[in-house]
Amino acid sequence: MAAAAAPEKARDPFEEKLIRVTLWLKKIYGDMPIPEYEVNERTVDILHEVMEFNEERDKDVTLLIEDMKDRATKYEEGAKYWQDILGESLGLSEGSLSLEANKDLTDLVESALDLNVEDTSLTSFYSAINNMTSELYETKSENEELELELNTLTKKLTSALVLEKKLEEDIEKLKESQEAEKAEAEIQLKDLKFLENKSVDLKIRISDAEEKLVAMGMDQSLTHEALMKSSEELAALEKEIEPLKNEVASYHDLPLSIPLARVKVEEARKELQALEEEFTREVQALPFEKT
């Protein structure tokens, strides 16, 4: 007994698409060679979609052709019907009509075709004209809406462009301002750094000079730091003496005949004298260089 035939292996979807696309391309190009293309899944999918679209379009065209053929047949039958009636009833034929009458009939047929009417009756023509008028008004209304929307979008776009330009100008000004501030800050930073370095250098030079002077026998109390401290102490003593001077001055205005005033003045005078003597001693104690 013959062995049973092995079942046919199912084709891969990609392979099926590739076969269909290849056959379609051969049908389109005929005897001409098919242009080379990269065979991959994406390319085949795109060609397959184009193929399906063309096939659907061909079907629509075929249906439209068939419909036009049917309409032409109906028009021919109608024309023959009316020719028979006109010929039998009125004795009119195509050859017996004048050029103007033939032209009018031709215009009537062309109008019927343009308006897509079933027949050439006035009712069909009026109905078709009304439909076309309605479509015209609808199209005009849609165009007006689109024009209004376009104007609105144009205004918005113009405003956006103006705003964008202003923002760009503001950004440019801000960049220039930031660059100027940055340059000024860098200059100030350099000046500050220079002053700091100069201050450190002066401190080092003063310290070196003082060390040299001390090594040469100068008293430590003549150093810059010691002189600054003595100056601060003198200023403090002068501040303490000032209220006492004011108090003594107020006692000088009292009448001399009052014993108590004399006692107070004498006490203040003694206290002031003591402070002045202390101040003098402090001043004399300062090691100023003699000229």
What span, in angstroms and rounded, lies between the C-alpha atoms of 247 and 241? 10
Residue 194 lies in a domain: no
> Which residues are within 8 A (CB) of 75 and not within 5 positions of it... i.e. 6 or more apart?
109, 112, 113
Q: Which two tokens stand for residue 162?
A: 């103006």
**Domain count along the chain:** 2
Boundary-marking domain end, from 71, 101, 117: 117
Residue 153 lies in a domain: no
What pLDDT score was predicted for residue 62? 87
Residue 238 lies in a domain: yes
Residue 215 lies in a domain: no
Whether 18 has a pLDDT exceeding 80, the answer reads yes
Whether 290 has a pLDDT exceeding 50, the answer reads no
Whether 192 has a pLDDT exceeding 80, the answer reads yes
Residue 176 lies in a domain: no
Provide the domain limits for residue 51.
Answer: 13-117
What pLDDT band is residue 209 in, cutting at 50, 70 and 90? confident
Boundary-marking domain end, from 97, 117, 137: 117
Residue 162 lies in a domain: no
DSSP secondary structure string for all residues of 206-273: HHHHHHHHHHTT--GGGSHHHHHHHHHHHHHHHHHHHHHHHHHHHHTTS-TT-HHHHHHHHHHHHHHH
pTM of the model: 0.30
Residue 258 lies in a domain: yes
Whether 289 has a pLDDT exceeding 50, the answer reads no
Q: Is the sign of the CA dihedral 75, 81, 84, 89 positive or negative?
A: negative
Boundary-marking domain end, from 117, 143, 177: 117
What pLDDT score was predicted for residue 250? 65
Average pLDDT value for residue range 215-221: 62
pLDDT tens profile 95-139: 666 677 777 777 777 777 777 777 767 787 788 888 888 888 888
Residue 55 lies in a domain: yes
Q: What is the rounded average pLDDT for all residues in the chain?
A: 76
